[in-house]
Amino acid sequence: MRSERTSHGLIVRAPAKVNLFLEVMGKRPDGYHDLNTLMVAVSLFDTLEFKEDSDSTIRLDLVPATEEPGDEDRPLLSPGPENLVWRAADLLRRHVGLSDGCRIRLTKRIPLAAGLAGGSSDAAATLLGLNRLWRLDLGTSELMTLAAELGSDVAFFLGSESAWCTGRGEIVTPLQPTTPLWLVLVCPPMGLSTARVFQALKTPEQPVDGSGLRQALLDGDIQAIGRGLFNRLQSTAEELCPALAELRRRLAILGGVGQLMSGSGTTWFVLCRNPDEAHRAARNLDQLTRENLVSRVHVVRSCF
């Protein structure tokens, strides 16, 4: 995640992520679940602009990107303490004993409640951006500790473009694939709460092993990656929202080498062999858009 200084402050682009693999190992005493997951950052970005402020207030301005039909069915984003960006700024400031204020302008392009971790990515961007804006010089390990306090996916975005994540997601082992992935993100109009999906989940007696998929990613074997795609949360999300199962069935005709729901949903992705195949698949989604099964379509590539 890169930052760019301007004459007025600092700009950071926060990427979305997809889960190529997600297995739930069991419930923890703290109420969270232990996970094994393979996450990849992709080229759909929120933009955060940071400016210093003369008083001690954290001001968050929200700028929605162009709204799509059906977006009204998704939750609204708060500009206050409920927002992970605001919480990240406040946590960082309290951690270093700072009283400085800041103004943050967040332009949202990553849909909410979609399994793409837009809020977590924005929080990581805030830690990185304000660390630089306020000239704090905190190291990655210290920022990772703060990230774990904010949420399970936040630590992934602090420098990783692809990683195997364990614990509740905060233990990050970066990977270094060399072959980019091309995907079509298919976003339905409805969202799902992560907490709701996990509450309804039945943990498996025999977890699926993701080591083969991890190696396929490192080898750049697109066909093997497609065969190994797996998400334990998918069937639970489909039970809670039957329209997701219908969307899965309809996406099967698009081709590609595999498809999967990302995170706790509701976004699906189609993994393609190359950009031409991805753009062809995206063009074939017009009918699903007309039927209101899909509100947004993005052709993206992995950030590595």
Q: Identify the architecture of domain 182-301 in CATH.
A: 2-Layer Sandwich (3.30)
Q: Return the HEC string of the chain.
A: CCEEECCCCEEEEEEEEEEEEEEEEEECCCCCEEEEEEEEEEEEEEEEEEEEECCCCEEEEEEECCCCCCHHHCCCCCCCCCCHHHHHHHHHHHHHCCCCEEEEEEEECCCCCCCCCHHHHHHHHHHHHHHHHCCCCCCHHHHHHHHHHHCCCHHHHCCCCEEEEECCCCEEEECCCCCCCEEEEEECCCCCCHHHHHHHCCCCCCCCCCHHHHHHHHHCCHHHHHHHCEECCHHHHHHHCHHHHHHHHHHHHHCCCEEEECCCCCCEEEEECCHHHHHHHHHCCHHHHHCCCCCEEEEEEECC
Question: Which pLDDT score, from 0 to 100, does residue 65 have?
Answer: 65
Question: Which pLDDT score, from 0 to 100, does residue 8 have?
Answer: 83
| Catalytic, out of 30, 53, 153, 286 | 153
Is 71 marked active-site? Answer: no
Is 202 marked active-site? Answer: no
Q: What topology does CATH give the domain 3-174?
A: Ribosomal Protein S5; domain 2 (3.30.230)
> pLDDT per position in the chain (304 positions), as tens?
888 998 889 999 999 999 999 999 999 999 899 999 999 999 999 999 999 998 899 999 999 765 554 454 556 788 999 999 999 999 999 999 999 999 999 999 999 999 999 999 999 999 999 999 999 999 999 999 999 999 999 999 998 999 999 999 999 999 999 999 999 999 999 999 999 999 999 999 999 999 999 999 999 999 999 999 999 999 999 999 999 999 999 999 888 999 999 999 999 999 999 999 999 999 999 999 999 999 999 999 999 9
Sorted by where each begins, the domain ranges of the chain are 3-174, 182-301
